[in-house]
Amino acid sequence: MLKRRSFSSTGDEMPLMRLTDCVAKTIKISDDLIIKGADVLTHCLITGMVAKEMIKRQPQWLRDLLYPEGTELLAAVHDAGKIFPSFQKKIHKALRSPEFPEGQELGIANPVLNIRHEAVSHATFYNYSRFIPEIVGRHHGYSPESTGMPDDEIFGGAHWQKMRLELVEYLKNALQTDLPVIKSAVHADVLSGFLCVADWISSGAAFENITAEMIGKPDFYNQIVSAVDTAGFVKPKLKKGLSFKSAFGFQPREIQLRLFEIADDSGIYILEAPMGLGKTEAALYAAYKALEQERATGIYFALPTQLTSNKIYERMNKFLSIILEDDGPHRKSLLLHGTAWLKQSEMGEEGLPGRSWFSSPKRGLLAPFAVGTIDQALMAAINVKHGFVRTFGLAGKVVILDEVHSYDSYTGTLLNELVKILKDIGCTVIILSATLTEKRRRDLLNSENQLSDKIYPLISSVKKNDPPEEYRIDYREQYEVQLKVVVDQSWAIHEALNRAESGQQVLWIENTVDEAQQMLKKIGAMAQNYGIEYGLLHSRFLKNERELKENYWVNIYGKNAGEKRKTCGRILVGTQVLEQSLDIDADFLITRLCPTDMLFQRLGRLWRHRQNDPFRPSGSQREAIILSPDINDAFLKDGAFEKSGYVYSPYVLCRTLEIWKDLPEVLIPQQIPDLIEATYEDRDESGLLSLYKDDLIKKRETLQRLAINGLSRFAKTLPETKASTRYSEIECIDVLLIKSKHVDSDGSTHLRFINGTDLVMPRSIKSKGKKSQREAAALLMSNTVTVPERLAPIFKLSQMTFLKDYVYLGDEEHSPFRAVIVQPDGEFSGLGGEEAHEKYRLLYNDTIGYIAVKK
């Protein structure tokens, strides 16, 4: 390690503080004591060394693609903007310890200007090559606005710029490299995200007490290695040579074999196949082969937004337990859902409890293996705060996009862009769908060529710069589902009860949580006379309760239920979570009308596992009832679809009803492509359908404009909460349910949750340590329920400050979190005893879940 050079403490025009006295951060010891942390030069050098260690762990092909020589220097110089008089005046003012020498001259310092240090970093590199200023200036999650030239007085004038450039020269010598060449905007995004994460790690607790003199010591490199290990950037230890059968316990079908044979390089692969054919296993085994051949660094499994079930995490964990060595670092995987890894891993400063990237949905993108939502991946494609951290997190991985449908009112433009970005950053993208139109397939492949729309099942691919290819899969199995479209809901309820009484396992799927809750109440009021069991599954249960409920019902409706199915008949009511996330097998299905894509998904839950056939009641067969308004009402009366018309486009629902209303049966998979194309083919309309179509077109055009604006690097960076609102259409909030809260005599806060468990949060988090802090944060999150923002309790930041060290609270304008007291009758009140909501009575019931009743 090079020795630190000494720098002049004076300039020609005015006395200046020395570069080595420029402080990068402070450390809060207590409310009464704040001390200096690392100086800017030390912190920047540590960041560069962390970055160098992170790059060292990437495979050579990915280094060649994305991490050119000099990338570690790019990370190191990120805080050059802290060599800025206004920043130093502000930080020194915060220091109240006697170790800071008073009276140093700062030169031109005007804190009133309120210029952030990242904007100064951006300006420092104004004369450097394209993308360098932008990357350096984005280390707090967004692109700062340019406010002047590097020598301008607002940045301290020529002397402070000279010191900043001296820092750059010092770091060049210390790291023995120069700044890299950046190839494209997407490349710049990856390096921006990489820089952010290197900064987070170097700002973490591991380097809190590091001084300049320690950096050259023999054991300092071990601290760098340990910090990067702790953050989770450790190469998975893979078992080699596993067959498909050894991974999953059964022989592969042809389609599963063909996918991993075809997906032999980075690129885009679309697997279209019927429900229940094992697409998930096909994708995971293709991912395993990519990992085995070191063509990928990890797996991100993306499911549709907000519908993700706990069960997919269990499937992923089971898969990882088979393919990873027993002594490997990710044997207990860093899966996105599990709170275990929140307790174990430490991502550095921004990943601490109470900071936004402690949140598991975001941190999972940085883990080697994660299950999450397509939304989190989509934000890698838009100009949203820390969007480029997501881009970095996905680089080089196998990204599996599950349940991609043709029905799409908001993600289309973004998903197309995301897939292109993933291809550019060395990903193997595997898209799974039972139902795509030819146009949707062509868009995803970014191909203008007419592709086949009659081959099914089908694998389509684009490898690197090759033209699209298609592979026909031989599949001769078929089955028939008997159908009945029904208007009379009361008749359907009685039919469900009669079927359950005969011993059948009935599945009832609604389109909204409210409708599912109401249906459960109606069925429950009548079920006592039938000697059956009934239950409800949806997304608005407490996270810990939802996991228990899913375990219970999958145990009965799953592939290994066996004799349990014969003990009694049952009705399981739920929402789309039953359609997309749970591996369940019903004897009889009742579903509310939904677009053709989703109808096929729901029909795929019928007789899903043949090993259950011996336990089905005699005389039962694959049958489904579709609940729908009358065709004349649907085509002539606005609002005929009621709440379903808010979830899905009334125009698409009309088109779907028109096709399915007279079908006595459907042949699967043979009829899937034709019915999908018939639903979405363009045609002229009249009357109410013309209005519905116009509304749908306007909505899609608006959302496409928003998407294109979000994709623009020149538009204003959106907060994550607002981006989620715009692109997911419904922003969701985590609500913490507390039975009681009081402050103990020692100043600690004592919480009791509604299941009777307790949590004591000390007045000072330092007294318990970071592991205890992470465990408390995980316990808090397990006692939350996720709801749409409009149904979330009123937010008062001042009442929730006791949570700030454990949960990311946002600010008064953008907050993803709420907390309430649950009264003995289940109704909520605010933390101060006030009403929880202006328009709704909010309640929680462990049978029904989170309830909002309009006042």
pLDDT in tens, 446-485: 887 766 656 888 999 999 878 889 888 888 788 999 999 9
| Nearest CA among 662, 26, 730, 142 for reference residue 389 | 142
The yes-or-no answer to whether 244-472 and 479-668 have a common fold is yes
* Alpha-carbon distance values, 151 to 24, 110, 145, 502 (Å): 21, 15, 17, 83
Q: Mean pLDDT over all residues of the chain?
A: 84
pLDDT above 70 (res 750) = yes
CB 761 within 8 A of CB 772: no
CB 330 within 8 A of CB 236: yes
Mean pLDDT of 324-340: 58
CATH number of 244-472: 3.40.50.300
pLDDT above 90 (res 507) = yes
**For the CA atoms of 736, 738, 743, 748, what is the dihedral angle to 10 degrees?**
-50
pLDDT above 90 (res 417) = no
| Nearest CA among 342, 313, 344 for reference residue 546 | 313
| Amino acid 389: pLDDT | 87
Q: Which pair of tokens denotes residue 13?
A: 């025009």
Contacts of 243 (CB under 8 A, 6+ apart): none
Task: Count each helix (H run) and each strand (E run) in the chain, helices first.
Answer: 31, 24
| Amino acid 337: pLDDT | 45
| Amino acid 592: pLDDT | 98
**Secondary structure class of 820 (helix, strand, coil):** strand
User: In 10 A of CB 13, how many CB atoms?
Assistant: 10
Length of the chain: 855
pLDDT above 80 (res 490) = yes
Confidence of residue 415 (pLDDT cuts 50, 70, 90): confident
More confident residue, 629 or 804: 629
CA 115, CA 627: separation in Å to the nearest integer? 59
pLDDT above 80 (res 533) = yes
* Alpha-carbon distance values, 401 to 407, 432, 453 (Å): 15, 6, 21
Planar angle of CA 587, 592, 596, nearest 5 degrees: 90
pLDDT above 90 (res 2) = no
Q: Which pair of tokens denotes residue 333?
A: 């995987």
Confidence of residue 813 (pLDDT cuts 50, 70, 90): low
Residue whose structure tokens are 């991993």: 260
pLDDT above 80 (res 104) = no
CATH number of 479-668: 3.40.50.300
Is the pTM higher than 0.75? The answer reads yes
Tell me, what amino acid is at 370? A
Contacts of 31 (CB under 8 A, 6+ apart): none
**For the CA atoms of 772, 773, 774, 775, what is the dihedral angle to 10 degrees?**
50
pLDDT above 80 (res 606) = yes
pLDDT above 90 (res 497) = yes
Mean pLDDT of 706-728: 55
| Amino acid 14: pLDDT | 39
User: In 10 A of CB 229, how many CB atoms?
Assistant: 15
Confidence of residue 711 (pLDDT cuts 50, 70, 90): low
More confident residue, 381 or 772: 772
Mean pLDDT of 118-139: 89
| Amino acid 54: pLDDT | 96
* Alpha-carbon distance values, 156 to 20, 26, 82, 83 (Å): 17, 22, 11, 9
Please tell me the chain's helix, strand, coil percentages from 3-state DSSP, rounded to the nearest 5: 45, 15, 40
| Nearest CA among 160, 161, 120 for reference residue 137 | 120
Beta strands at 533-537 and 570-574: parallel, antiparallel or unpaired: parallel
Mean pLDDT of 695-704: 78
**Most confident region among 138-147, 464-473, 834-843 by mean pLDDT:** 834-843
**Secondary structure class of 457 (helix, strand, coil):** coil
pLDDT in tens, 423-453: 999 999 999 998 788 888 888 898 877 666 5
Instruction: Give residue limits of the domains in the chain.
Output: 19-230, 244-472, 479-668, 731-854
| Amino acid 74: pLDDT | 97
Give the architecture-level CATH label for domain 19-230.
Answer: Orthogonal Bundle (1.10)
pLDDT in tens, 302-319: 887 555 556 677 788 889
- Omega of the bond leading into 457 within 30 degrees of 0 (cis): yes
First to last CA, the chain: 69
